[in-house]
Amino acid sequence: MGADSRAEHAGRGRSTRAVVLAACGGLLMTGCATMPDSGDVSMVKGSGTGDSQVRVYAVAPRENADPDEIVDGFLEAMTSDDPGFATARTYLTKKAAKSWKPEESITVLTTAPGRSPADRNADPDNQGRAFPLSGRKIATVDDRHAYQPVSPTEYLQSIHVVQQPAANGKGREWRIDSLPPGLILGEADFLRNYRSVNKYYFASGEDWVVADPVYIRQRQDPVTRMDPVTQTVKALLEGPTDWLKPAVDSQFPSGTELKSGVTTLTTDDQSTLRVPLNRKADRASGEACRRMAAQLLFTLGDLTSVRVEQVELMGSGGQSLCRLGKGEAVEFAAVRNTDRDENPYFVDEHGKLMTLLAGGKEASAPLEVPGPFGKGTVPLSSVAVDRGETRAAGIGQTGRELLVSSITTEQDPLPPVLTSKAARPADRLSAPSWDGRGDLWVADRDPAAPRLWMVPGGTGHPVEVHTLWPGDDTRIESLRVSADGVRIALVVTRGERTTLQIGRIQRETTGDGPVVSVVDLRPAAPRMESVTAVSWAGPSRLVVVGKEAGGVQQIRYLQTDGSTSASSVLPGLNGVTSVAAPHTDKSPVVADSRNDGIVRLAPGTNWQPMAKKGFSPVYPG
């Protein structure tokens, strides 16, 4: 049985068709778990948390199996690592086995699909049996490995079973002749078999890379027989996902693939990975080849199963095209100073901008920053610090004015960059956010004239950002722009619901100046009924504060594609109004709690107080 057990569904009453083996401390290959050689096959429930150490071995249908067993056995066989899904295909007619393409798509349900008794009315000629499948659909994964979440919706499909001549020529046997496309997996089985990795492509026209999350198999891919490293390289060469494609470029020449027959890629004793490519890559040289190698290094850096310090690209004849080490690839990172300590900033009870040394064992006293923001000359209600930590943008205490000031040198207050005309403070400017290009973003929530603004360089003439809102009652509550400047996270209220949306930033230059748009908004936390706050937590991860339907407030990590795992929930904290996460995991998450003030969460610890009074904690960005 898969990690999502179907044994408790009514009307099953059949022999188990799959065996689950759990690895013992990584020693599966040395025999800590083995296949039985006698006795009945018994069911072992796998971990409900998507434990990657659980292995499911498909079992072929027994002789004279009834239709119920055929359907249940096939559903279980889909959760296995069986090469080519060969055993799963034994449950299908020859025609269905030939046409079924499990690599085409994955439908992800909250739990394994429920199978109801056969609906005789669905086959009035009584030539077969139609078995309804049901569940709650939460996502799909397409043939480019892109995860696409949806608000939980009812899933209703069916599997049809007919009788055909038995393989041994004696009598007839039941087999599936019609079924839904691709794989159908419960969430736990999906997370047990697949893992998220980031592919990296260059922001269009720029010198830094952008993360593009996709899902690959945890172990060998049943269809391609590729190990996880090779799967990841193959996914990179296939190009960006459809959603990100308009904003990024791949440096690999069109048609570049791994050399035919390559299914395994391993590093040598110097942690160098040699990647053999086809003839399309032969013409790559110089700077283009270095950028190709950089894409590979960033992509492979997310795989914990392999340590890659250097990449060497090999041409179709085995010749070396170029090499690149991790130290050299840093020049292409969106955030390039990741080795230095990241320290958060916040606004104290007097409206002054302060900074905290968050990485020590003991909480240090807040430090005042130079300039008018730190002196309290211009009291603030919210703040954002640029990624170079030389300037800050603040919203004045009334929420009406956007101001920018140095935080490294003393200076007099400067005139507002932008002003809201809204009557109520809550309808004025949102907290600002800097992107990696040095541009500043803010939303004016004025009901009479709601706008999203981008300020070039933080002090240029504000540019109104074009958005395609789904209705007139939509309002941006808060926003955070990614370091790469390609994506924006928006907390949006529409009607009674506040949701998290991810949009792609599109920039054009015309004779009248820059034209900036946010397009292709998609839900990033569709299972959350309300979202309070969000922060970027790396190239493709977010920290989100919100509530699921009927639940309490929680803080959790989410991928920008909306995917998550059971282990992504952070320890509970009451009354959180804002949250800030560092770009790397070296520094703690910081939050503003109405009950506890400014608090931090370091890895492996619980929330610890840092400042009793204060608000608007932020890391640079």
Contact in structure between 562 and 149 (CB atoms under 8 Å): yes
pLDDT in tens, 356-407: 886 666 667 889 999 999 998 899 999 999 999 999 999 999 999 999 999 9
- pLDDT value of position 98: 95
Domain spans of the chain, in order of start:
18-193, 251-332, 425-618
Q: What angle do CA 345, 443, 533 make, to 5 degrees?
A: 50
Distance CA 617, CA 607 (A): 15
- pLDDT value of position 10: 37
- pLDDT greater at residue 120 or residue 412: 412
- pLDDT greater at residue 473 or residue 135: 135
Provide the CA 208 distance to its chain's centre, in angstroms: 20
Is the pLDDT confidence value at 124 over 70?
no
pLDDT in tens, 71-117: 999 999 999 989 999 999 999 999 999 999 999 999 999 999 999 99
- pLDDT value of position 584: 86
- pLDDT value of position 605: 86
Contact in structure between 233 and 224 (CB atoms under 8 Å): no
- pLDDT value of position 200: 98
Distance CA 123, CA 162 (A): 10
Average pLDDT over residues 553-560: 93
- pLDDT value of position 357: 83
Q: Which of the four pLDDT bands, split at 50, 70 and 90, describes residue 6? A: very low
Task: Give the chain's mean pLDDT.
Answer: 87
- pLDDT value of position 586: 84
- pLDDT value of position 515: 93
Burial class (CB in 10 A: 0-12, 13-18, 19+), 540: buried
Is the pLDDT confidence value at 38 over 50?
no
Q: Cα dihedral angle (31, 36, 37, 39), rounded to 10 degrees? A: 160
Q: Which residues contact 524 (CB under 8 A, 6 or more apart)?
A: 149, 489, 500, 501, 502, 542, 544, 558, 560, 561, 562
- pLDDT value of position 48: 39
Is the pLDDT confidence value at 471 over 90?
no
- The H or E element spanning position 289 is helix 286-300
Q: Which of the four pLDDT bands, split at 50, 70 and 90, describes residue 123? A: low
Contact in structure between 302 and 584 (CB atoms under 8 Å): no
Topology at the third CATH level for domain 425-618: Neuraminidase (2.120.10)
What is the share, in percent, of the chain residues with pLDDT greater than 70?
A: 88
- pLDDT value of position 61: 94
Q: Which residues contact 395 (CB under 8 A, 6 or more apart)?
A: 380, 381, 382, 383, 401, 402, 403, 428, 429, 430, 431, 432, 442
Q: For the ranges 390-394, 509-513, 515-519, which has the lowest average pLDDT?
A: 509-513
Q: What angle do CA 542, 543, 547 make, to 5 degrees?
A: 120
Tokens matching residue 240 = 């960006």
Q: Which of the four pLDDT bands, split at 50, 70 and 90, describes residue 293? A: very high
Average pLDDT over residues 319-341: 87
What is the share, in percent, of the chain residues with pLDDT greater than 90?
A: 70
Is the pLDDT confidence value at 34 over 50?
no
Length of the chain as a residue count? 621
Q: Which of the four pLDDT bands, split at 50, 70 and 90, describes residue 56? A: confident
Average pLDDT over residues 599-616: 90
Q: For the ranges 9-23, 99-113, 168-182, 434-448, which has the lowest average pLDDT?
A: 9-23
Is the pLDDT confidence value at 606 over 50?
yes
Crossing angle, helix 228-237 and helix 286-300, to 10 degrees? 140
What single letter denotes the amino acid at residue 513? G
pLDDT in tens, 300-315: 998 888 999 999 999 9
Distance CA 526, CA 530 (A): 9
Q: Report the range out of 13-22, 36-45, 200-209 with the highest average pLDDT.
A: 200-209
